[in-house]
A and B are shown apart, each in its own frame.
Chain A
Amino acid sequence: MPGLIAYGAYVPYHRLARADIAATLGTAPSRGTRAVAGYDEDTTSMAVEAARSALARDGLRTRIGQLFLATAAPAYLDKTNATAVHAALGLDPHVLAADMAGSVRSGLGALVTAARSPVPTLAVLSDLRTGLPGGGEESAGGDGAAAFAFGGHRNGAPVLAELLAHDTVSDEILDRWRLPGAPASRVWEERFAEEIYVSLADKALSAALDQAGLDRDAIDHLIVSGLHARACATVRRTSGVRPEAATADLTAQIGNAGTAQPGLLLADVLDRAEPGRIIALVVLGDGAGVLLLRTTDALPAHRAARPVAAQIAAGGAPMPYATYLSWRGLLDREPPRRPDPEPPYAPPAHRRNSWKYGFVASRCEKCGTRHLPPDRVCVSCRSVDAMTDEPMEHVPGTVATFTVDRLAHTPSPPMLVVVVDYDGGGRFRCQLTDATEADAVIGARVEMTFRRTVTAAGVHNYFWKARPLRTGETEGTGA
């Protein structure tokens, strides 16, 4: 039986304490934290991080036949965002990469499409929830991404969770909406949609269980995801599953990442579920959808390298609310007296896609020297055009020297710059992110992460930065 063959989640490093919002704006006190994408992250870059995590094991990238990026906060319109993920993963050119963008429900859409596709499919769910200062979306929202590959069983890439059944119910309903370009979504009176969603969830869950020949008692992990918090809570409580099967929604720690939330919650369950367990994923929003999965014996040996819980635990200390506002463009700060940053130019960026998006360097075939960025002439033996591709995105390194640039134009000054010497050879100077000045020291261990370095003249620049390799996280596995 086909099913899930790989998964990975990405929770950004930064946190915002809800109490800080309340203290700043004088609103009602609220508890917990939400996850915040870095100033150098967007839904595309977070999607890349989640997908890298999902496809970290050898041989997985070559199996993917199509890729869907689902997000309600696409970095670009008209231009496909999934192609950036495709480029960063170095997938075969014939792999279809397309967006399912605009609505929060596109997350469910990508998951279901991947689950029932005859072609091995990667669904990446990514979202960045902002809203207006003081609003519920800001406080309850979160940022993050998750990626799931569905396909058939192969040696080396076994099915980790079989797809037992799925069902979807679609309903045209004015519950949550946002006009293009509007800063925040709007919602109808909460009680209006609650009953409707509870009913639709029941309908979809019943249909899926009927297909699988199971009853509600069989469910070991019930995940309920959606932006309608009351409806989700009611479904969790009243759906008839065993009470201990209902899983927490993580909103106290990381908020609700909208499009990506079903993915983050599913990844969290997969991080700890034992073999042979039934997982019901219920997603509410403009209808309801259900995926019924049964974990296999292969799951424990093939879990994601970075569990959701570990990423939550590794989050930074809460950032000042003013920093959050300025990162989101809600607090326009005085720029440095420096030239505006340059946007990327299309032809040189396109020529260097595999370097810029994939961080693929070159290695001299004659003497083995690594070159970052790729060169044609070997810096060591001067051989010409004797280079092979050298993927470096998974290679950790050590800081040789560093600086803190307080003059540079960056959305979050000061800019941390490190010279990285990679394990096994090669050196590159780049920015250090998800870090404080205390993290920039000679000898610090770092790994690479895909970021949106700047947006200039209406163009996003995507490139790689180093970030501290934090204790408790597994060093990157081979790609």
Chain B
Amino acid sequence: MSSHGIRDRVAIVGMGCTPFGEHWGRSADDLLVDAVGEAVTSAGITLDDIDAFWLGTQASGVSGLTLSRPLHLPYKPVTRLENMCATGSEALRNACYAVASGAYDVAMAVGVEKLKDSGMSGLSGTSMPGAGDDSRGEITAPANFSLLAPAYAAKYGLAEEELKDVITRIAWKNHVNGARNPRAQFRKEVPLERIRSAPIVAGMLGVFDCSGVSDGSAAAIVVRAEDAYRYTDKPIFVKALSFVAGPADGLLDPDYDFTTFPEVVVSAQEAYRQAGITDPRAELALAEVHDCFTPTELVLMEDLGFSARGQAWKDVTSGAFDLDGALPVNPDGGLKAFGHPIGASGLRMTFEAWIQLRGEAPPERTVASVAEGRTLALTHNLGGGPGECVSFVSVVGSELTD
């Protein structure tokens, strides 16, 4: 028994992505209609051509009816799924497997989340009866991820102020990128000093260290690789799909030190194996990673193998992950500039890979690495928190591997 991967067996031939933001005037249904419509148009097909659907949403609806109702899909298979903050990526993964298996010719993955109807700050989540009464459920998401900061600083000998500079730069970088993206929730650069001095939310994290709360939807159309050029001359081939749910031992086991996500390490290594990548920092044209909070992106640079252990803070500081750096990370602005409509985020990352690898990003946001001949992009999506999380890594590419 082993994992085989489906490298180059399926391709993405159409995508849609709504602007992310506070869509007071638009419902989850509206966002779905828009994202699905854009994807179908980009592939040059109609909804009737799609054989099966995978809908990812954490809490904006239950069952396949959440998609079939607004689109009035006629008797199609629609699966609604949820896998915490990796929900959107999970929809893509399942749609890809459905096509690779031969069960369907054309599948759609779509993700949506409507967060801004709750009236609450941050994510309010869903609760099972009694889930929080032994105090494990009470911590908020920023507080949960802020646990990384003091642990990382202590392990690598950084003063708190030094680490604050590092995470400030991550937020600054993603806002610089988002300012160049018409779909982003936040489209202004934010000065370093404003980020650094923003009101504190949890631990070391200020308001600008946290991703925003927004509404959005994104969709992808998946077909067999050999059919891909019937839909587009620039398909994006799926090289690797890797997903793990951790054993949830980090909050039990004193050996876990809060400076890594072991789930990310495992899922990244598996993705690189499937895709045949040996040096991700040199081979990838870009990476879209789950920057829910700035310390998360810092730790991910090491877990994904972009930086050596204990070195990511230096690489961040030197600009290695800037738009014009050695490996652009979150060139679309990331969760930081897009907010995090949970079911949509994973597919929003894939959308950035789609336009960058196809050379369709606006000039002010185009990564130089594609013109230099790199053809691979990585997306990384995680749900949960330090100590217990689920992690997804995909690699997609604009060319078939020989």
Contacts and interface: CB of A to CB of B under 8 A. Distances in A.
Contacts of B135: 430-431, 453, 463-465
Interface in B103-148: 118-122, 124, 127, 129-140, 142-144, 146-148
Interface in A8-38: none
Contacts of A352: 134
Given A405-B142, A415-B138, A417-B139, A371 B252 contact: yes
10 contacts: A338-B122, A342-B130, A344-B133, A379-B249, A400-B257, A401-B148, A401-B154, A417-B139, A429-B251, A431-B135
Interface in B233-265: 247-249, 251-254, 256-258
Interface in A411-437: 415, 417, 419, 421, 425-431
Contacts of B129: 345, 347-348
Contacts of B254: 400, 421, 425-427
B371 interface: no
A352 B143 CA distance: 26
A338 B121 contact: yes
A373 interface: yes
A347 B148 CA distance: 34
Interface string A443-455: 0000000000100
Contact of A408 (B136, B143, B257): B143
Given A337-B120, A379-B253, A407-B121, A356 B134 contact: yes
Nearest to B142: A407
A430 B137 CA distance: 10
Nearest to B205: A403
B139 A429 contact: yes
Given A379-B252, A415-B138, A406 B150 contact: no
Contacts of A371: 252
Contact of B138 (A369, A400, A408): A408
A415 B134 CA distance: 15
A453 to B, nearest CB: 6
Nearest to A430: B135
A400 B129 CA distance: 30
A380 interface: yes
Contacts of B136: 373, 429
Interface size on A, as a range, is: 35 or more
A402 B124 contact: no
B201 interface: yes
A442 B154 contact: yes
A403 B140 CA distance: 11
A464 to B, nearest CB: 8
Contacts of B119: 337
A419 B150 CA distance: 12
A193 to B, nearest CB: 45
A341 interface: yes
A432 to B, nearest CB: 11
A401 B143 contact: no
B276 interface: no
Given A338-B121, A372-B252, A373-B134, A419 B147 contact: yes
A407 B133 contact: no
B143 A379 contact: no
A349 B249 contact: no
A407 B130 CA distance: 21
Kindly name the residue among A403, A410, A464 whose own CB sees the greatest number of chain B CB atoms within 10 A. Answer: A403
Interface in A306-356: 336-339, 341-345, 347-349, 352, 355-356
Contacts of B282: none
A184 interface: no
Given A342-B127, A372-B252, A429-B136, 4 more contacts: A347-B129, A348-B133, A404-B203, A463-B135
B158 interface: no
B130 A345 contact: yes
B151 interface: yes
Contacts of B370: none
Interface in A213-252: none
B200 interface: yes
Q: Which 8 residue pairs are nearest across A and B when measured between Cβ atoms?
A: A348-B130, A405-B143, A345-B130, A344-B133, A403-B203, A421-B254, A345-B129, A401-B151
B122 A407 contact: yes
Contacts of A453: 135, 138
Contact of A339 (B124, B146, B147): B124
Contact of B253 (A344, A427, A442): A427
Contacts, number: 135
Contacts of B190: none
Contacts of A403: 139, 143-144, 146-147, 150, 202-203
A369 B254 CA distance: 11
Contacts of B124: 338-339
B253 A380 contact: yes
B252 A406 contact: no
A80 interface: no
A372 B119 CA distance: 34
B151 A461 contact: no
Kindly name the residue among A344, A404, A429 whose own CB sees the greatest number of chain B CB atoms within 10 A. Answer: A429
A401 B258 contact: yes
Contacts of A355: 134
Nearest to A347: B130
Contacts of A421: 254
Contacts of A425: 254
B191 to A, nearest CB: 23
B296 to A, nearest CB: 14
A349 B133 contact: yes
Contacts of A430: 135
B260 to A, nearest CB: 13
Interface in A111-141: none
Contacts of A401: 147-148, 150-151, 154, 258
Contacts of B253: 369, 379-380, 427
Nearest to A407: B140
A358 B135 CA distance: 14
Kindly name the residue among B134, B140, B387 whose own CB sees the greatest number of chain A CB atoms within 10 A. Answer: B134
B122 A463 contact: no
A434 to B, nearest CB: 16
B251 A419 contact: yes
A408 B139 contact: yes
Nearest to B146: A403
A60 to B, nearest CB: 27
Contact of A417 (B143, B200, B387): B143
A345 B130 CA distance: 5
Nearest to A459: B133
Contacts of A428: 251-252
A123 B362 CA distance: 76
A268 B276 CA distance: 73
Interface in B19-53: none
B138 A419 contact: no
A409 B150 CA distance: 23
Contacts of B154: 401, 442
Given A356-B134, A417-B139, A338 B120 contact: yes
Given A339-B120, A400-B151, A427-B254, A349 B130 contact: yes
A428 B254 CA distance: 9
A349 B135 CA distance: 12
Given A429-B139, A453-B135, A402 B147 contact: yes
B150 A402 contact: yes
Given A344-B130, A345-B130, A419 B258 contact: yes
